[in-house]
Amino acid sequence: MTAGDQADMVRDWLIGVDVGGTFTDGVLLRPGHAPIIVKTPTNIPDPVAGLMGCLDALAESVSISKKELLARTAKLGYGTTQAANLIVEGKGSKVGFITTRGFKDTLVIAEIGRERIGMDLTASRAPSLVPRSRIYEVRERVDAQGKELAPVNMDDVKAAMDALAAEGVEAVGLCFLWSFLNNEHEVAVAEALKNYSNWFVSVSHEVAPLLGEYKRSATTALNARLGPLVQQHLLSVGRSLKTEGLDALPLVMTSAGGLLTMEDAASKPVTLLSSGPAGGVLASKLLAERMGLENVLCADMGGTTFDVSLITEGELALSERAQYAGQEIFTEAIDIVSIGAGGGSIGWVDHGLRLKVGPGSAGSDPGPACYGHGGNRATVTDANCELGRLNPKGLAGGRLHLDTEAAKRVLSDLGKEIGLRPEQTAEGIISIVDAAMSDAIRSQTVAKGLDPREYALFAYGGAAPLHAASIAADLGIAKVVVPLLAPVFSAYGIVASNIQHVLSRSRVVPITDTETISSVFSELEASGTAALESDGVAEPARILVRAAQLRFKGQMHAVNVSVPSGPITAESLEQLGRKFVETYERLFGAGTSSASAGIEVVTLRVYAIGVTTVPQIDAVEAEEHDGVPSGSRKVWFKGEQIEVPTFTGPLEPGTRISGPALLDYPGQTTWVPVNTTAVVDPYQSLVMTVG
Amino acid sequence: MKADPVLTEIISNRLMQIGLEGGLVLQRCAVSPSVVDAKDLGFNIADASGRTVVYSVWMPRHGTTLSYMLQSCMKRFENDIRPGDMYLVNDPHSGALHILDLAVIAPVHYKGELIAWVGNATHHVDVGAMTPGRSPLATDWHQEGIIFKPTRIVEGGKIRDDIFNLFLDNIRMPRYQSLDLKAQISANFAASQKLIELVERYGTDAFTETVESSIELGERQARERIAVLEKGEYHEATYLDYDRLYRLECTLTVDDAGLHFDFSGTDPEAKTFINCAVPCAVANLHNILACQLFPDLSVNYGTWTQVDVSIPAGTIISCNPPAPCSGASTITGWRVQGITMALLTQALKRTERSKFAMAEWGWGFTDVQWTGFDQQGRWYSLRGDMSMHGGGARAESDGIDVANIAGSTNTSVPSIESYEYRYPVLYLERGLVPDSEGAGQFSGGRAGYWSRCLYGVDSAADCTFYIGRDVSSLGVHGGHDGAPARIALKRGTDVLARISKEVPLYDELDGEEELFSQMPPGLDRVVYSGDVICVRGMGGAGFGPPELRSEEAVRHDLKEGLLGAERALEIYGVKAE
C-alpha cells in the first residue's frame, strides 16, 4: 500500500473492543467482508497497552499495520471494566464531601441497609464511601417544595474548603437536601470549589438529580472517587488513538447501552459500571430487530457467571439503581441479573446425600482440570469435556489443549462419594447447572409477570451455546438463537450502538401539572441537544426520546412509561395517564391499579441519541439443505455413549442439521440435542427449534 | 434404596425456587410498602404431614410462625381439608407472630391426594384495633383488632366474599390491604400450580425422597454444628421496661440431644401489650439461631428437631387470652432474641466458631406515631425511623453503627426527602450519636438519632411508645453496656422563626424538655407547631475489657469523631492529640 492509496482511502471500517476480566475481545467490520474477531489477554496494569494489543491483533488478521487500520476506521467503540475493577479492588482517589448541616452521617448510615449486610451477624456494612472525618457540613436549607429556607453560609464553605485542601483530597463530592428541585445552592458551592482548586468536582444535581438523599450522595461520592482515575484513563486512550492515526471520535460504552465521547464519560464514571454486559444485550436487540423478534431472553454464560436480561416487545429492560461497593447507586443501566454459574463452577457432595454445583468457581486460575493448569476440582467445563461435547482440538482458537484425562480423574474422584461413574457425575453436574440457569430465568420473568415461553433464547458468551437448548426445553422455549459473533457479542454490540446521553430529573408533581412537566422536558431536551451538538452530531442524526416514571400517589414504586414527542398538553398528559394504568395493570394484574389515588410523576427523562454509522449485515437468503458433517465425536447421553456427527463453522446460510449434533465454531461449540433442529439463517446465526 | 443424589438436588433447588417465586408473586401483586419495599414476608412449603421443607425464603422469623399456623390449620380442619381450600390466620395463639401478621395457608392436592402445603405471611398496616397498627394502650386482646383463628377464606379455588369482606369491613386501609390479601392468595395459587407441575414431571416418589433427604440433611447439618458448641448449662436473665420492669430468664443446656432452652423464672404475663404468645417467642429464638449459628446451612424441619424450647404457661412470652399482645414481635419477641444470643455467646466463646460470640445489640422499639391532617386536608399517619440502634460488638470486630435489631435482615430507614415530601414535617438532623456505644476491646455500634418539627400544620396527635429507656444493652467479657434509648420533646421553641437564617439543631433550641415515658399517657397527647422531638436509639454493647482495645482503634474513633476526647482518656487512657 502506498501513501497515495492512503489518501484516497475510504474510512468505512468499524471497530469494537470489549475489555473483560481475562480476555479483551475485538471485532472488525469491513463492508463486503466477513467480520474479523480476536481475543487477546487483558492487560490490567496497563489498560492502554492492552487496547493497543487488541488493535494490533485485528490489524494483523488483515495483514496491515495498526496505523493503517485506524486510518480506515470510521468509528471505534470501547467497553471498559476499569471503573468496575477499581471498585472490586477498593481503589480510587482521596475524596472529601460537603453536605447540609445536620446530615453528615447520611453516607455513613446508608439508610441502615441491613439487606446489604446479610444474615451473618459477623458481617459489617461496607465502609462509608467517604470517611466521616472528611465530610463537612454547611448551613443551608431548601424545603420539599424547592423553596429556599436558609441561604448558603459561605463562611462554612470556606472553612470546609480550607480543611479539604489541608487534607490533600483529589476530588470533592457535593450533595445538599432537595438540590434536585432547587440547585442554586449546589451551583454556588460548586463554583466556589472550582475556583478554589483543581479538584475533580462531583455535584449531585448533575450526577443524579433524583429523590433520595442517601442514594444521591452515594452516587455523587462514588463518582468523585472514580473520577480522577477514570478521567485520566479515558483521556489517555483518546490521545493514544489519535496519535496512532484514528481520525474518528473514539466512543465509550455506558451501562445504559449507549456510547459517549471520552470527555463526557470522564465526567460521569458511574455511568460506566456495567458497560461490558450491556454490549451483548444491545447486540441481541439489533439482531432481534433484523429477525423480526419482539421478545428475547439474552443469556450470556462465561467462566464464572450466567447473566440474563430481557427484551420485551422490542424494549430493553432498564433499571435506575444498582449496588456497587456495598452502596445503592442511582445509575441508568440495562437490567441484567447475574448468578454464579459458569464453566468454572465447582461440583461437590454434601454429606454424601446430594451432588451440588457452585457457588465456588475455579475461575481462570487454576481453571477447570481439563485446562491442565493444575485445577483439581470437577467443574462444569470438565463435565462437558467428559461427556464429549467440547472440541478436543481446543478452545480459545486452538491455543488451549484439552486434558480429557484430568477431567475424567476429578469426576471419578467426585463420583466415588455418591457411587456414580465419571460420566454419570458429569451428566449430573450438567443437569443441575442447567436447572439453576432455568431458575434464574424464571425469577426474572416471574418477578415481572412475564411468561418465558413467549420468548426466544439468545445464547452467547463462551459456554452458553452448550447449554442453551436444554435450558430452553426446560422452560418450554421453542426457539434458540446462537449468533455468528457469539464469542465477541459484546464487542459487536458496542460498535453497533449509537451515541446516547441520558438526562433525568426528579420532580414529584401531579400528572396534571402541565406547566412543570413541559418545562422540565424542555430543559432536559435543550441540554440533550447541546450535548449532541458538542459531540459533532449533525441535526438530522439527532433523536430525542422522552420517558416518565409514574406512580399512584402514596406508592413507593414507580413504573417507567415512554412519553410521545410534541407539545405537552392536558390531553397528552391524560393519554399518558391512561397508558400508565394499562402498563401498571399488565405488570401487576388487572384490577390492581388505584386511579382514584391520583397519578404523580416522580422522574422525567430524555434520551438524546446521536445516530452514528452502524454495521450493515446483509441477509443471504438460501435454500435449506442438509449440512455435511466434518467428523464425529463419542458423546455420553443419558448413560449411553453415542456417536454424534460434528460440523465445523462458519456454516453457510440454509444449512440444516438435526440433533444430536455438535457444531464447532472458533471460540465455541453448540450442542444440538436429540429432537432439536438447527438451521443457519440469512444472518448466519444458528437457529434451533427445540422439541 | 438410597435417594438419587442428582434428582433430589434438582427437585430440592426447584422447591426453593417455587418458594422464592411465591414470594415474588406476593411482592408483585401487593401494594403496601411493608411487603413491596421492606420485604417483610415469608413463604413456606411443607409435606403432607406438615413438616416444613422450604423454610421462609424471605425472612427467617416467618418460617417458624408459618409452621405453627400450619399445625393449627391441620388441627382445626382435621377431617375436612378439601382441594381448593385456603385458610386465613392471624391469631397469635394459633401461631401468628402478632395480630398484624396475616397468613394464608393452602393444602396442595394432586389427583385428589394431599401431597403438600404452601403458606405465606406478611405484615398488614392495620387490623382495626383501638389505634392504627399496634395498640400500646390495650388492656385486652379484643382491643387489638379482628382475630382470625384458621378460617376458610378460599373454598373450591374461589375466594369467599363473606369472609374477605368481613376483614375489609374491620380495617382502616381496606383499599391497599385488600390488594395485599389478594396477593397472598395469588402467591399460594401460583406456588401450588408449580408444585403440581413438579410432581407431574418427576413423580410423587421422587418428591417424597427429596423431602426426606432434605430433612435428613437439615438435621445432620444442625447436629454437626451444635456439636461444635461447648457442652454444659448456661444461664441468663434480662429485663425490659414499659409500664414497669419485666424479667426474662432462660437456661440453655447443650448436650448430645441438642439444644434445650428453658424459660422458667420468666415473669408472669403483663396487663399491657408487651406480652407475646409461645409461637412468637420460639420464632424469635429460631431467628437468632438461624443468623448466629446456622447462617450458612439449609434450615428446615430437620434443623429444629435438634432444638427444644420449654416455656411455662402464662408468662410474658407465653401469655393466655385475653392478655393483650400486639407489641409482641418487637418487644418481648426481640428480648427473647437478646437472651438467646447471650446464651449462644456463652456456648460459642471457647470454640472454633468463637467469632460468632457477641455482646448485646441495641434493642427495643422507638415508635413515634403522629397522625393528623396535612396542608391539603388529607389524613396521614406518620411512623418510621423506628429502630436506629447500634449493633453489639463481635468477638473479633466492632459492632455496626446504626445497625438495627440483630436478625432483622430487612430493615432500612427511608430518606428524609421522602418523609418531608409525604408528611408535614421538617427534619433538623439525622445522624449517629458519638459516645453512645458500649466501650470494649471491640466496641459496640453507635445509636442513631433524629429531630424534627411539624412544618406547615399547627398540630398532630401523638401516640409514641418505646422500650429500653431504663435498661440497656449488656456488655460481655468486661465490655461496657451501650447507652439506653431516649425520646424527648421541647415544647414551644422558636425553631420556625429561626429557619430563614439557619436551621437550628435540637441542642441549640430553648424550650422546656419533656422526657417521654415508655407508655403513652393516654390517647390525647398532642404536638404543636414549634415543638421539636428528638429520638435516640440504643447503643450496642462492648465485647472484652476496654484496656485491650488497640490504641490505633481508639485514635481512629477519635479522628472520625465517633469518640469524645474525655471518654478516650477516661476509658482507654488515650490522650487526644
Tens of pLDDT along chain B (577 residues) come to 468 999 999 999 999 999 999 998 888 777 776 676 667 889 999 999 999 999 987 778 899 999 999 999 999 999 999 999 999 999 999 999 999 999 999 999 999 999 999 999 999 988 999 988 889 999 999 999 999 999 999 999 999 999 999 999 999 888 888 888 999 999 999 999 999 999 999 999 999 999 999 999 999 999 999 999 999 999 999 999 999 999 999 999 999 999 999 999 999 999 999 999 999 999 999 999 999 999 999 899 999 999 999 999 999 999 999 999 999 888 999 999 999 999 999 999 999 999 999 999 999 889 999 999 999 898 888 887 678 999 999 999 999 999 988 888 777 888 999 899 889 999 999 999 999 999 999 999 999 999 999 999 999 999 999 999 999 999 999 999 999 999 999 999 999 999 999 999 999 999 899 999 999 999 899 999 999 999 999 999 999 999 999 999 999 999 999 999 999 999 999 998 8
Residues of chain A with pLDDT under 50: 1-7
| B42 neighbourhood in chain A, CB within 8 Å | none
What is the DSSP code string of B497-529?
HHTTT-PPPGGG--SEEEEPPSS-S-TT-EEET
CA–CA dist A61, A78 (Å, integer): 19
- Among candidate residues A179, A185, A228, the one with its CA nearest the CA of residue A205: A179
**Residue A109: which of B3, B417, B432 has the nearest Cβ?**
B432
Taking an 8 Å cut-off on Cβ atoms, the answer to whether A114 and B505 are in contact is: no
> In whole angstroms, what is the distance from residue A458 CA to residue A462 CA?
13
Transcribe B337-352 into DSSP letters: HHHHHHHHHHHHTTST
Q: Is A619 on the interface with B (CB under 8 A)?
A: no
Nearest-Cα distance to chain B for A384, in Å, is 16
Query: Taking CB atoms and an 8 Å cutoff, what residues of chain B touch A166?
Result: none
pLDDT at residue number A394 = 59
Beta carbons of A436 and B13 less than 8 Å apart: yes
Helix runs in B203-331, H state only: 204-228, 278-288, 301-304
A595 touching B (Cβ < 8 Å) = no
A122 shares contact with chain B (CB less than 8 Å): yes
Buried b (16+ CB within 10 A) or exposed e, A180-210: bbbbbbbbebbebbeebeebbbbbbbbbbbb
Bridge partners, residue A400, by sequence: A395
Residue listed under C-alpha cell 421538617? B426
Phi, psi of B330 (to 5 degrees): -100, 0
Name the grid cell of B127.
Answer: 387490623
Q: Measured between CB atoms, which of B8, B418, B561 is closest to A354?
A: B8
Cβ contacts below 8 Å, chain A against chain B, sum to 211
Residues linked to residue A644 through DSSP beta bridges, in sequence order: A633
- Tell me how far apart the alpha carbons of residues B285 and B311 are, in angstroms, rounded to a whole number: 12
Query: Cα angle vertex A158, ends A153, A163, to 5°?
Result: 130
Contact A356 B9 (CB under 8 A): yes
Give the whole-angstrom CA distance, residue B219 versus residue B226. 10
Give chain B positions within 8 Å (CB) of A114: 403-404, 408-412
DSSP string, A150-178: E---HHHHHHHHHHHHHHT-SEEEEE-TT
Helix (H, G, I), strand (E, B) or coil at B295: coil
Residue A357 and residue A342: Cα distance in Å, rounded?
10
Q: List the single residue in B2, B24, B559 with the smallest CB-CB distance to A446.
A: B24
Dihedral of alpha carbons A300, A301, A303, A305, sign: positive
- Which ranges constitute the DSSP H helices of A204-337? 204-207, 213-243, 262-267, 275-291
Q: How many CA atoms lie within 13 A of B541 on its CB side?
A: 25
What pLDDT does residue B266 have? 98
Q: Is B374 on the interface with A (CB under 8 A)?
A: no
At A119, list the grid cell: 444474615
**How many residues appear in chain A?**
691
Strands B86-89, B101-110: pairing is antiparallel
Judge: A355–B401 Cβ closer than 8 Å, yes or no: no
Helix (H, G, I), strand (E, B) or coil at B488: strand
For strands A315-316 and B526-528, give the pairing: unpaired
Please list, in sequence order, all residues whose beta carbon lies within 8 angstroms of the beta carbon of residue B14, skipping any fewer than 6 positions away: A435, A439, B198
ipTM score of the complex?
Answer: 0.94
Predicted pLDDT at A398 = 53
Cβ(B129)–Cβ(B135) below 8 Å: yes
Q: Find the CB nearest B6 among A104, A125, A428.
A: A428
Residue A71: HSE in the Cβ half-sphere, 13 Å Cα cutoff: 12
Inspect the interface and report whether the beta carbons of B432 and A351 lie closer than 8 Å. no
Closest residue in B to A156 (Cα) is: B502
Across the interface, whether the CB atoms of A431 and B290 are under 8 A apart is answered no
Which three three-digit cell numbers place residue A667?
471460540
Eight-state DSSP code of residue B292: I
Give the integer Cα–Cα distance in Å for B342 and B261: 12
Residues B461, B524: Cα–Cα separation, whole Å: 7
- For residue B180, the one-letter residue type is D
**Whether A456 contacts A293, CB under 8 Å:** yes
Cα–Cα distance, A581 to A591 (Å, whole number) = 10
Of A104, A112, A215, the CB nearest to B404: A112
* DSSP state letter for A476: T
SS3 content of chain B, % helix, strand, coil (to 5): 35, 20, 45
Which residues does residue A679 pair with via DSSP β-bridges, in sequence order? A656, A687
Which helix (H) or strand (E) segment holds residue A573: the answer is helix A570-588
Nearest partner of A601 among A544, A566, A563, A567, judged by Cα: A563
Residues 500-519 of A with CB under 8 A from B: 508
Q: What are phi and psi of A581, to 5 degrees?
A: -60, -40
Q: Do A215 and B415 touch (CB under 8 A)?
A: yes
The string of DSSP letters for A391-428 reads: -TT-BGGGTB---HHHHHHHHHHHHHTTT--HHHHHHH
pLDDT of A320-344, one tens digit each? 888 999 999 999 999 998 888 889 9
- What is the least distance, in Å, from the CA of B147 to any CA of chain A? 26
Q: Where are the beta strands (DSSP E) in A5-147?
A: 13-19, 23-29, 36-41, 73-79, 95-100, 135-138, 141-142
Asked if A656 and A638 touch (Cβ cutoff 8 Å), the reply is no
Q: Is A349 on the interface with B (CB under 8 A)?
A: yes
Q: Do A112 and B20 lie within an 8 Å CB cutoff?
A: no
CA distance A425 to chain B (A): 8
Distance of alpha carbon B450 from alpha carbon B536, whole angstroms: 7
Question: Residue B330 carries which side chain, given as an amino acid letter?
Answer: T
Asked if B10 reaches chain A (Cβ–Cβ under 8 Å), the answer is yes
Enumerate residues 408 to 437 of chain A having a beta carbon within 8 A of any beta carbon in chain B. 418-420, 427-428, 431-432, 435-436
Note the pLDDT of residue A546.
96
* Location of C-alpha cell 435454500: A623
A339 min Cα distance to partner chain B (Å): 14
- In this complex, do B413 and A139 lie within 8 Å of one another by their Cβ atoms? no
Considering CB atoms only, which of A356, A442, A588 is closest to B21? A442
Residue of A97, A107, A121, A438 best to disrupt the B interface, most CBs of B under 10 A: A121
In angstroms, the Cα distances linking B343 to A643, B236, B247, B346, B560 are 63, 7, 16, 5, 33
Interface test with A, best of B389, B416, B562 (most A CBs within 10 A): B416
Nearest to B10 among A125, A420, A435 (CB): A435
d(CA B409, CA B407): 5
Beta carbons of A577 and A511 less than 8 angstroms apart:
yes
**DSSP H or E stretch at residue A380:** helix A380-386
> Chain B 221-240, CB below 8 Å of chain A: which residues?
221
Subunit contact A353:B407, Cβ cutoff 8 A: no
Looking at the partner chain, which of B10, B29, B36 has a beta carbon nearest the beta carbon of A432? B10
- What letter represents residue A575's amino acid? Q
Asked if A649 and A664 touch (Cβ cutoff 8 Å), the reply is yes
Query: How many beta carbons lie within 10 A of that of residue B553, not counting itself?
Result: 16
Amino acid at B425: V
Q: How many CB atoms are closer than 10 A to CB A90?
A: 9
Q: Which amino acid is at B131?
A: T
- In chain A, the domains with their CATH numbers are 3-86+232-272 (3.30.420.40), 92-221 (3.40.50), 499-610 (3.30.1490), 626-690 (no CATH)
- Other Cβ atoms within 10 Å of A503 Cβ, number: 21
Using the beta-carbon criterion (under 8 Å), do B217 and A351 form an inter-chain contact?
yes
Nearest CA in chain A to B422: A554
Q: How far apart are CA B270 and CA B328, in angstroms?
A: 11
Alpha carbon distance B364, A47 (integer Å): 52
pLDDT at A10: 81
Closest residue, chain B, to A146 (C-alpha) = B421
Q: In this structure, are residues A631 and A515 in contact, taking their beta carbons and an 8 Å threshold?
A: no
Given this model, what pLDDT does residue A7 score?
Answer: 47
* Residue B6, strand partner residues: none
Restricting to B residues 479-508, those with a Cβ less than 8 Å away from any Cβ of A are: 499-503, 505
Q: Which three cell numbers stand for residue B399?
A: 459492632
The rounded distance, in Å, linking the Cα atoms of A575 and A578 is 5
Chain center to CA of A474: 26
Tell me whether B432 touches chain A (CB under 8 Å): yes
Residue ranges with strand state E in B124-242: 151-155, 158-159, 232-241
The distance from CA A221 to its chain's CA centroid, rounded to whole angstroms, is 22
Chain B nearest-CA distance from A390, in A, is 22
Residue owning grid cell 480423574 = A409
Residues 123 through 142 of chain A touching chain B, CB cutoff 8 Å? 124-125, 131-133, 139, 141
SS3 of A646, please?
strand
Ranges of beta strands (E only) in B311-458 are 366-367, 370-373, 379-382, 425-432, 448-454
